[in-house]
Structure 1
Amino acid sequence: LFTVAGERIVTRLRRDLFSRIMIQDIAFFDGQRTGELINRLASDTAVLQNTVSVNISMALRFGALTLGGLLLLFYTSPRLTLVMISVVPFLTVGVILFGRRIRKLSKRVQDVLARSSQIAEEAISGIRTVRAFSREAHEIARYTRAVFEAFALARRRSLATGILMGGSSCAGYGAISLVLWYGGRLVATGTMSIGALTSFVLYMLIVAGSFGMLVGLWTDFMRATGAAEHVFQLIDQRPSIPLGEGETLPQVQGEVTFERVFFAYPSRPNVPVLEGIDLTLEAGRIVALVGPSGGGKSTIAALIPRFYDPDAGVIRLDGRDLKDLDATWLRQQIGIVAQEPVLFSTSIAENIAYGAPQATQAQIEAAARTANAEEFIARLPDGYATLVGERGIQLSGGQRQRIAIARAVLRNPRILILDEATSALDAESEFLVKEALDRVMQGRTTLVIAHRLSTVRDADLVVVVEAGEIVEQGTHTALLAAGGLYRRLIERQFVPAQGG
Structure 2
Amino acid sequence: FQASVGLLLGVTLAFYYEWRISLVALGVAPMMMISAAINSKVKVGSMINIEREGGTTHSTVSETIINYITVASFANESLIIQKYKANLLEKVKKEIRKCHVSGFLFGFSQFMQFGMYTILFWSGAKFVENYNVKGDDLFTAIYVMMFAAIGAGQAQQHGPSAGKGVEAACKIYDIIDEPSKIDPFEMNNDQIFANKQNVKGEIEFKNVWFRYPTRKDSWILRGLTMKINVNECVGLVGQSGSGKSTIIQLLYRFYDPQRGQILIDGVDIKRYNIRSLRAQFGLVQQEPVLFNYSVKDNICYAKEHATVREITAVAEIANAAQFIEEIEEEKAEDPTQFPENAMQPLRGSAASEHTYEELPKGYNTLCGVKGSKFSGGQKQRIAVARAIITKPQVLMLDEATSALDEESQRKVQEALDKVMKDRTS
TM-score of the pair, normalised by structure 2:
0.73
Report the equivalent of 1:208: 146
Report the equivalent of 1:74: 15
Report the equivalent of 2:347: none
Which residue, out of 367, 374, 379, partners 2:314?
Answer: 367
Give me the whole-angstrom Cα distance separating, in 2, the residues matched to 1:215 and 1:97: 8
Deviation at 1:406, TM superposition (A): 0.6
Please give the secondary structure, in 1, of the residue aligned with 2:380. helix
Deviation at 1:301, TM superposition (A): 1.8
Deviation at 1:226, TM superposition (A): 5.2
Give me the whole-angstrom Cα distance separating, in 2, the residues matched to 1:327 and 1:110: 43
Give me the whole-angstrom Cα distance separating, in 2, the residues matched to 1:229 and 1:160: 28
Aligned partner letter, 2:22: T
The 1:95/1:183 distance shift into structure 2, 3 A limit, reads: closer
Deviation at 1:295, TM superposition (A): 1.5
Which residue, out of 188, 191, 194, partners 1:249?
Answer: 194
Give me the whole-angstrom Cα distance separating, in 2, the residues matched to 1:331 and 1:252: 11
Deviations 1:169-206 (A, max 9, x none): 4444444333345445545553xx3316x523433234
Deviation at 1:374, TM superposition (A): 1.6
Report the equivalent of 1:401: 380
Give me the whole-angstrom Cα distance separating, in 2, the residues matched to 1:385 and 1:74: 73
Aligned partner letter, 1:399: Q
1:130 paired to 2:71: yes
Deviations 1:316-366 (A, max 9, x none): 434554455444333322211111212223332222122223322221111
Give me the whole-angstrom Cα distance separating, in 2, the residues matched to 1:442 and 1:200: 94
Deviation at 1:422, TM superposition (A): 1.7
8 Å CA contact 1:261, 1:313 repeated in 2 = yes
Deviations 1:443-481 (A, max 9, x none): 3222xxxxxxxxxxxxxxxxxxxxxxxxxxxxxxxxxxx
Deviation at 1:299, TM superposition (A): 1.8
Aligned partner letter, 1:346: Y
Please give the secondary structure, in 1, of the residue aligned with 2:236. strand
Deviation at 1:369, TM superposition (A): 1.0
Report the equivalent of 2:397: 418
Deviations 1:466-497 (A, max 9, x none): xxxxxxxxxxxxxxxxxxxxxxxxxxxxxxxx
Which residue, out of 357, 360, 384, partners 2:363?
Answer: 384
Report the equivalent of 2:25: 84
Instruction: Trace 1:57-456 onto structure 2 (pairs within 5 A).
Output: 60=2, 66-89=7-30, 112=53, 119=60, 122-139=63-80, 168-187=109-128, 189-190=130-131, 193-195=132-134, 198-219=136-157, 222=160, 233-234=171-172, 236-238=174-176, 240=180, 241-246=182-187, 247=191, 248-250=193-195, 251-380=198-327, 381=329, 382-446=361-425
Give me the whole-angstrom Cα distance separating, in 1, the residues matched to 2:223 and 2:43: 52
Please give the secondary structure, in 2, of the residue aligned with 1:368. helix
The 1:146/1:377 distance shift into structure 2, 3 A limit, reads: same
8 Å CA contact 2:230, 2:423 repeated in 1 = yes
Give me the whole-angstrom Cα distance separating, in 1, the residues matched to 2:30 and 2:110: 15
Structure 1 gaps, min length 5: 1-58, 447-500
Deviations 1:135-163 (A, max 9, x none): 44545555666677677777777777766
TM-score of the pair, normalised by structure 1:
0.63
Deviation at 1:63, TM superposition (A): 6.4
Deviation at 1:81, TM superposition (A): 2.6
The 1:194/1:74 distance shift into structure 2, 3 A limit, reads: closer
Please give the secondary structure, in 2, of the residue aligned with 1:242. coil
8 Å CA contact 2:25, 2:145 repeated in 1 = no
Deviates more, 1:396-405 or 1:167-176: 167-176
The 1:345/1:167 distance shift into structure 2, 3 A limit, reads: same
Aligned partner letter, 1:293: S
8 Å CA contact 2:204, 2:225 repeated in 1 = yes
Taking only the aligned residue pairs, the percentage that are identical comes to: 34
Superposed CA RMSD: 4.1
Aligned partner letter, 1:345: N
Work out the number of aligned pairs and report it: 384
8 Å CA contact 1:98, 1:160 repeated in 2 = no
Structure 2 gaps, min length 5: 330-360
8 Å CA contact 2:201, 2:231 repeated in 1 = yes
The 1:410/1:104 distance shift into structure 2, 3 A limit, reads: farther
8 Å CA contact 2:317, 2:385 repeated in 1 = yes
The 1:98/1:169 distance shift into structure 2, 3 A limit, reads: closer
